Structure 1
């Protein structure tokens, strides 16, 4: 009986760490297409060039309407939220922006996130750096 309980506990812990996400939209073409399913690993701060799932902000006000459900709150339900798939372009402390722009450094606990298909992507080009707490996790593999 204790073996079954151990499996149940391990299964519950794994469900909190792994989330299956369906790709919608074209912002990560050609690597990820609408309808692709990916497995997302929660709990680790992403590194440069990794692909992450991040919570969609209010695009008009450029902020969020609720508390974080990403890395900043790993136990929160995530199905009621809208998510974006993006690539980490820069991490805290890295410079961002061109020499012609008033760029700066990525603030602590933030990431610069870009879609691979810039012409249709809502990302740090419009939003600026995203808080790490809004990141659900890192794409681990395609299903």
Structure 2
């Protein structure tokens, strides 16, 4: 996972145009989710808006550099503050290849890239209201 803009701009131009415009003005970045470690809330292919430099709090979803592979970004949920870092966990502990603080310990502040502030692609699914029978 790496911070980048969408490859298929035409597919997400309407959904992401506002998010990308705001991103340029507010120290925001975008990141694409890969892997199943954050299911069911975040799925592979979801695009997130990340507020870089934002201090996390327990319950927040954050993007961080992997402590053992600095070139790899990870998306995890903040569990708690632990010593000199943050305890970051996967929502789906049974995901294949899942790696989080249970494996590498607390993540230092300087490796936390930012806090996820929204998902902009794919657009949230809207279901039509059901009409009462009769």
TM range, smaller chain: 0.5 to 0.7
Scaled by the length of structure 2, what TM-score is found?
A: 0.67
Q: From 12, 21, 42, give the equivalent of 1:32.
A: 42
Q: How do residues 62-101 of structure 1 correspond to structure 2 at under 5 angstroms? A: 64=70, 81-91=71-81
Aligned-pair Cα RMSD in Å: 2.1
Scaled by the length of structure 1, what TM-score is found?
A: 0.63
Gapped regions of structure 2 (runs ≥ 5)? 1-21, 121-134
CA distance in 2, matches of 1:90, 1:47: 8
CA distance in 1, matches of 2:68, 2:52: 23
Q: How do residues 54-65 of structure 1 correspond to structure 2 at under 5 angstroms? A: 54-58=64-68, 64=70
Gapped regions of structure 1 (runs ≥ 5)? 1-10, 65-80, 92-105
| Greater RCO, CA 8 A, separation 6+ | 1
Q: From 79, 94, 99, give the equivalent of 1:119.
A: 94
Of residues 28-37 and 114-123 in structure 1, the stretch that sits farther from structure 2 once superposed is 114-123
Structure 1 runs (4+) deviating above 6 angstroms are none
